[in-house]
Amino acid sequence: TQLLEQSPQFLSIQEGENLTVYCNSSSVFSSLQWYRQEPGEGPVLLVTVVTGGEVKKLKRLTFQFGDARKDSSLHITAAQPGDTGLYLCAGARAGTGNQFYFGTGTSLTVIP
Amino acid sequence: EAGVVQSPRYKIIEKKQPVAFWCNPISGHNTLYWYRQNLGQGPELLIRYENEEAVDDSQLPKDRFSAERLKGVDSTLKIQPAELGDSAVYLCASSPRTGSYGYTFGSGTRLTVV
C-alpha cells in the first residue's frame, strides 16, 4: 500500500502544452520530493520541498507543497519531448529519519 | 564521482531458482536502500541499512528474500526461491546519512522470472 496517490496515472500531450501532476495523501509529511525516471534508469531527484505552501521553480517546472503538507503538485510549462518520463513524488513522515515513501507515479509522454 | 553501481543490469531465471543482486553505493554514503519497482509504478522499500545494520526491513518478504551489508559498504539482495511475481526492477539507492535529503539511485536490475 502506497501512502501517496498520483494523478493522472498516464498523460500524453503535444509539445508546447502545459500540464499539472498531482500528488495526494491523507498523511502529513515533513518533506516531499519529486523525481523523474527515464526508461532503464533509476529515478533522479528534481526538487525537495519542506515548508507548507512552499513553491520552487526549476526552469519550466514549478513545484508546490500544500499548506497542510499533505499534497503537492508539479506544473510543467511548454512541455518538450525531453520531459517524457515517469514522474514520482516521495514523502517523508516526521520521526522516520527522512525515510521517503514513493507515490504511484505519473507516466508522461510529450509528442513532438 | 562514481554513482551507485548495480549488477547485473538484467537477469532472466526460471521460477524456483535463486538469484542475487549486488549494489555498490556512493563512497561515504552510510545509508543504503533496496527498492522493488513494478512497471509504471513507484518504488517500494524492501530494506534500509544504516552502515551494516538493517534498521527497517519490515517490507522484506523474509521467507524468500534476504539481504546483507557486511562491511557497511556494498550490499547483496537475494531471492530464494524466485516466484513469477518477483519479476520487477530492483533498485538500490544511497544517501549520506539518516536525515539527509535526496537519494542517489542506481540503474537497477531488471529481473524476469519465467
Q: Where residue B103 falls among pLDDT bands split at 50, 70, 90?
A: confident
Cα angle value A110/A24/A92 (rounded, 5°):
105
Residue B76 Cα distances to A101, B8, B49, B90, angstroms: 22, 11, 12, 11
Q: Quick one: pLDDT at residue B42?
A: 93
> Other C-beta atoms within 10 Å of A110: how many?
20
B42·A90 Cβ contact <8 A? yes
Mean pLDDT for back-to-back runs of 10 residues, chain A (112 residues): 87 98 94 93 94 96 96 97 96 77 95 96
Q: Which residues of A touch B (CB under 8 A)?
A: 2, 4, 6, 9, 31, 33, 40-45, 48, 86, 88, 90, 97-105, 107
Identify the DSSP state of B40: T
Partners of residue A103 in chain B, C-beta under 8 Å: 42
Contact across the interface for B48 and A101, Cβ inside 8 Å: no
Cell of B80: 530464494
Contact B42 A2 (CB under 8 A): yes
- Tell me whether B71 touches chain A (CB under 8 Å): no
How much is the pLDDT for A100?
85
The pLDDT tens digits of the residues spanning B42-91 come to 999 999 999 999 988 988 999 999 999 988 899 999 999 999 999 999 99
Grouping H, G, I as helix, E, B as strand and the rest as coil, residue A82 is helix
Nearest to A65 by CA among A27, A33, A92: A33
CA A101 to each of CA A80, A104, B87: distance values in angstroms, whole numbers, following the listed order: 28, 10, 21
Q: A66-89 burial by CB neighbour count: b if 16+ within 10 A, else e?
A: beebbbbbbbbeebeeebbbbbbb
B27 residue type, one letter: S
